A and B are shown apart, each in its own frame.
Chain A
Amino acid sequence: MELLMPGLGLVFWMTVAFGFVLLILKKYAWAPILNVLHERENKLAQSFSDAKRIEQEISQLAVLRTEKLAEAEEKHKEIVSKAQIDAERIIEEAREKARQEARLINEKADEMVEAYKQKAMREVRSQLSALSLDIAEKVLLEEFSDKQRNARYVNKLLDEVVMN
């Protein structure tokens, strides 16, 4: 029975001592220790998650890289083919234009040639008429100068008329 009787003094001193130990250790031991443990675990967990995240990012980046490469290749091809088509189109256009222009020039030239021709023809005609008149005049004058022959011719004509 004596074992089961709490002693007033021991209870009192135990309360005091344990209370002090609790307060002192709480402030000077458990707080810093638990803090460090907590921080260390946080840092560790963070490092792990960081590593995981970075790994994921790297694999994602690799995928992205191949994707981008393929895309670039595609784009490159597209651009090149487009350029080819463009070039062909431009050349064709230029050709067409040139052709048209040439035709226009030809037409113009034809017109001009025609105009010149007309003009020349007109000139030739006017000169020809003048010249022919001149010649005719000269011929006539020449013809009229030989009076014997004229008379003979007139006689011949008269003969013909008379005979008729």
Chain B
Amino acid sequence: MSNLPRFNIVHSLKTSSYFLVAALCLLVAGDAHGKAASFADEIALSGSHSTDEIAADEKPEFNARKVIVDHVLDAYDWHLFDIGKREFSIPLPVILLYEGRMYVFLSSRFDHGYSAYKGFRVSKEGHNKGRAIRVLDDGITPDPEASFIYDFSITKNVLAVFISSVLLCLVFVKIGRRYKDADIYSTPKGLPAFFEPLILFVRDQIALLAIDRKHYKKFMPYLLTVFFFILLNNLLGLVPFFPGGANVTGSISVTFVLAMFTFFTTHWFANKTYWQHIFNMPGVPMFLKFPIPILPVIEIVGAFIKPFVLMIRLFANITAGHMVILSLTALIFVLGGVSIILGYLISPLTVLFLIFLNFLKILVAFLQAYIFTLFSAFFFGMAVPDEHH
């Protein structure tokens, strides 16, 4: 009975995969090149600035760890490229609420993090690294008595989230409109032909797999949104230039929000049986529940651990992927620092390996979107168990 539509899916997936591979081959080539170039500039830059920051004792050294972390972290401006020693980036609005006052200015005031503005400065180290901190009048020393800064800046990741949100809305609202007018017997063409198999995949292989047939419908909008949101941002994260390159799904804040959405959706729709299983697990001896509620505590902790694991998994996978790519790129410069010949020798090998890794990351992009959605679906499925069970 369902053989017919399934044939279509396989067919369109095949066709679209050729396109995808071709497009990503181009990107991979650009990626390796772009990252290498920006590293080279960074070495030069860190050299030029080190004279006024660090005691100028010796030749500036390439600090792989610092560079990698800087690339993975969020930033106040969107770095595009460097020409010589000049950095070109898109300045983004910085919005800070500090002691009841609101400070709004463009991130170009920070001068790529080298100067302070209105008593704020981008922190260079510590757990606030890359974030605005309050500094003393000298513009360098952090203010030890500073209170909490409510930072609502439109950072690189925020802008990337906005861009991908708009992109998602544009694409899928357009598809939705096509479906509204379409004759339901017609085979999908164009955008729907590309996305329908994915939508069906989320429905049949994720939602219906994990959630009871009676309940799955109310979770579908969230599962689809979260799947395509993660997928799009994973893929955009692989694109080395604007509007890609932001480490959105590798940011703990973003995965935290996604996990919270899963958490609240789970408990918003959770039925009586779910709550009963948490507070009064049936079929378990009483001494596990009263007077010391061992089992309820375990269950409650479990309810929080589930989204926490979701958050960590997505963040770690994407960030680790970025880090591996960055580390391999950094290898060229580390070895180049030792001996220029060694650097040249290692670079073709590294680029080859980077190409392989980028392909791997395309797989990971799909895989992580799938896993996050699947696990969310499993949690929803657990929240709406069969009543008579």
Contacts and interface: CB of A to CB of B under 8 A. Distances in A.
Interface in A1-30: 1-15, 17-18, 20-22, 24-26, 28-30
A30 B220 CA distance: 8
Interface string B143-160: 000000011111101100
B161 interface: yes
B158 A3 contact: no
B69 interface: yes
Given A25-B225, A29-B173, A6 B184 contact: no
Contact of A13 (B127, B158, B177): B158
The A contact surface, by secondary structure, is helix
Interface of A: 1-15, 17-18, 20-22, 24-26, 28-37, 39-41, 43-45, 48
Given A11-B253, A25-B173, A36-B182, 9 more contacts: A2-B128, A7-B74, A9-B153, A12-B152, A18-B165, A21-B225, A21-B229, A31-B221, A34-B220
A164 B15 CA distance: 171
B73 interface: yes
B203 interface: yes
Contacts of A32: 176-177, 179-180
A40 B173 CA distance: 20
A25 B221 contact: yes
A36 B184 contact: yes
Interface in B1-59: 1-2, 4-5
Interface size class of B (residues with CB under 8 A): 35 or more
B41 to A, nearest CB: 23
A33 B196 CA distance: 9
Contacts of A1: 127
Which of A11, A31, A39, A43 has most chain B Cβ within 10 Å?
A11
A6 B252 contact: yes
A39 to B, nearest CB: 5
Contacts of A31: 176, 221
Taking each of A25, A35, A45, A48, which has the highest tally of chain B beta carbons within 10 Å of its own beta carbon? Answer: A25
B199 interface: yes
A41 B220 contact: no
Given A2-B129, A14-B158, A21-B229, A40 B184 contact: yes
Given A1-B127, A2-B128, A32-B176, A21 B257 contact: no
A56 B274 CA distance: 45
B172 A2 contact: no
B256 interface: yes
B185 A43 contact: yes
Interface of B: 1-2, 4-5, 69, 72-74, 95, 126-131, 150-155, 157-158, 161-162, 165, 168-169, 172-173, 175-177, 179-180, 182, 184-185, 192, 196, 199-200, 203, 217, 220-222, 224-225, 229, 251-254, 256-258, 260-261, 319
B134 to A, nearest CB: 15
A10 B257 CA distance: 9
A56 B74 CA distance: 66
B165 A20 contact: yes
B169 A21 contact: yes
Contacts of B179: 32-33, 35-36
Closest 6 pairs between A and B when the two form their complex, measured CB to CB: A29-B176, A29-B172, A10-B253, A26-B221, A2-B129, A6-B253
30 contacts: A3-B72, A5-B127, A6-B252, A7-B151, A9-B153, A9-B158, A10-B157, A10-B251, A10-B253, A12-B152, A17-B161, A17-B165, A18-B165, A18-B257, A18-B261, A21-B229, A22-B261, A24-B173, A25-B172, A25-B221, A26-B221, A28-B172, A29-B173, A29-B176, A30-B176, A30-B224, A32-B179, A34-B203, A41-B5, A43-B184
Nearest to A10: B253
Given A2-B130, A37-B196, A37-B203, A11 B176 contact: no
A13 B161 contact: yes
A155 B217 CA distance: 164
